[in-house]
Structure 1
């Protein structure tokens, strides 16, 4: 076969094997992706200090996590306390970390409001359809997404009620900075459990503040 044809086939296959991003503005930070009129971080937050440099407590086991809840101490952990999970999914943060006045998000970024999440969902077809466009093309135990949005949501699971781990491979759970009318902070979920394309928006009852989720920051 002609070498030029072989080369064309090789690069065509190579191109198809990689996730493609839509054209992005040249002035975007290297860790950012523009989706519609919004600019999001490409990956889940992975910091262990507040914006002022103060350290956030690393809960290395269930006892640490329980104590941080009891003492209302900002804390983070890896899924199943394994650093290798953090390298893929980022850090899980508790309620007290995201509401601390020292600011968890880096300079020029913030934890998204529920309005920000809703705008992202609407741009990608609405809450009933956005999931498949937001999900990554790998790591999901069920049906992977097509990542048409380039958001690349990974199924890193969560720390559920009483702080136990659940849902890796099936759920991507994120904090918002918004509260509902009862004062309960709102979380967002992209799941493989029910419908591949649906996203969920749920208030987190104060009795469940031992839970832990990931954070995907949005540009100020």
Structure 2
């Protein structure tokens, strides 16, 4: 058992070094509100480091802030909120956007950027070459994540955070435990207890109820 554990540790270290030296800071990008996001180059992709927190579409129109549970439940247009309506959490975790924000042609991603697709995630995982992709993508340490035996090393500088989510009824869940991010057709997730990146929670093609959920957004650059 000790020998197997040692082999695993050396393998993890090797992967960490390979990924770390293959990824690099890629400058910054500014949204229409003037928020600045750092970016990271992972293989042939460039991702935002911080979660999106823009309040306007690219044409200047406002995205509707949905504070109350009833507002969130009833809204059929693009809207956002932030966890527990606590503005202090926005700096670290950004906003939670409903699915309509992703489909709106006015766009919430900064110009030259977009919402990731499932193909983007497959390419990301393929670059990392590990079933434990979450370790390389999650923020290093436990300053935001619940304490567990699975600690991120953030070798990719992707800095996935556990921003939780808002459900169709307007309730908030899983801050500091799980992180949920939108794709064009669903979501990808990170759990504090797991070394993996998942794509199973919210497939809007399978169940339209997820269109009423609020998830974080991390944009990818158009190449």
Query: TM class by shorter-chain length?
Result: 0.7 to 0.9
CA distance in 1, matches of 2:48, 2:159: 10
Describe the SS at the equivalent of 2:62: coil
**Counterpart secondary structure, 1:55:** coil
- Greater C-alpha Rg: 1
Shift of residue 218 of structure 1? 0.5
SS at match of 1:28: strand
User: CA-to-partner distance for each residue in 1:30-49, whole Å, 9 max, x for gaps?
Assistant: 62111111001111111001
**Corresponding residue for 1:47?**
54
Q: Aligned pair in 2 of structure 1 residues 63, 132: CA closer, same or farther (>3 Å)? A: same
| Contact 1:162–1:208 (Cα < 8 Å) also in 2 | no
Match of 1:133 in 2: 136
Work out the CA distance in 1 between the residues paired with 2:126 and 2:159: 17
| RMSD between superposed Cα atoms in Å | 1.9
Is 1:104 the counterpart of 2:102 in the alignment?
A: no
Instruction: Give TM-score, length-normalised by structure 1.
Output: 0.79
After superposition, the Cα gap between the structure-2 partners of 1:207 and 1:123, relative to the gap in structure 1 and judged at 3 Å, is same
The answer to whether the Cα contact below 8 Å between 2:139 and 2:154 also exists between their aligned partners in 1 is yes
Which stretches of structure 1, 4 residues or longer, exceed 4 Å deviation after superposition? 20-23
Tell me the alpha carbon deviations over residues 66-121 of structure 1, each in whole angstroms, 9 at most, x when there is no partner: 121xxx11100001111111111001000111111111111111001111112112
After superposition, where does 1:158-169 map in structure 2 within 5 Å? 158-169=165-176
Structure 2 counterpart SS, 1:189: strand
Number of the residue aligned with 1:75: 79
Structure 1's 78 and 114: CA in aligned 2 closer, same or farther, altered over 3 A? Answer: same
How many residue pairs were aligned? 187
Change over 3 Å in CA distance of 1:110–1:23 after alignment to 2: closer
Counterpart secondary structure, 2:100: helix
Question: What is the aligned partner in structure 2 of residue 38 from structure 1?
Answer: 45
Structure 2 Cα separation of the partners of residues 46 and 216 of structure 1: 10
Partner of 1:89: 93
Distance 1:21 1:213 in 2: 31
Matched-pair contact (CA < 8 Å) for 1:92–1:158: yes
> Residue deviations 1:153-195, cap 9 Å, x none?
1111111342311111111101101xxxxxxx221111124xx
Matches of 2:48 and 2:155, distance apart in 1? 16
